[in-house]
Amino acid sequence: MRGVKIGNTILAACSINSRCRVVSILGGREMRSRLTDLGIVPGEELKIIRGNRNSPFVVQVRGGKVMLGRGMLEKIEVELV
């Protein structure tokens, strides 16, 4: 996982019902902008509601739920809470 710090992981590697905190967004400007619009920014806590390794995840953020595809999941660096 290029760019991910030791002790952190990417959101795609998290399991259902796990809670994590966003550390950084590894994508480009448009990816960061889109995720910011969804409320997914460094420091924000997320909870994985639904999904598996072959499908999008439903993630709870700021009291709402959003669906994220595999490409985005692999660009979000998180730490488990």
Name the residue with tokens 């490409």: 71
> Which is more confident, 44 or 6?
44
Predicted local distance difference test score (pLDDT) of residue 3: 67
Structure tokens that stand for 4 in this block: 């991910």
Confidence of residue 1 (pLDDT cuts 50, 70, 90): very low
pLDDT at 53 over 90: no
Q: Which CATH architecture has domain 9-80?
A: Roll (2.30)
Predicted local distance difference test score (pLDDT) of residue 27: 86
* pTM for this entry: 0.88
Q: What is the DSSP letter of 72?
A: H
Domain boundaries, the chain: 9-80
Mean pLDDT of 32-37: 94
Q: What would the 3-class secondary structure string for 22-60 be?
A: EEEECCCHHHHHHHHHCCCCCCCEEEEEECCCCCCEEEE
Predicted local distance difference test score (pLDDT) of residue 52: 81
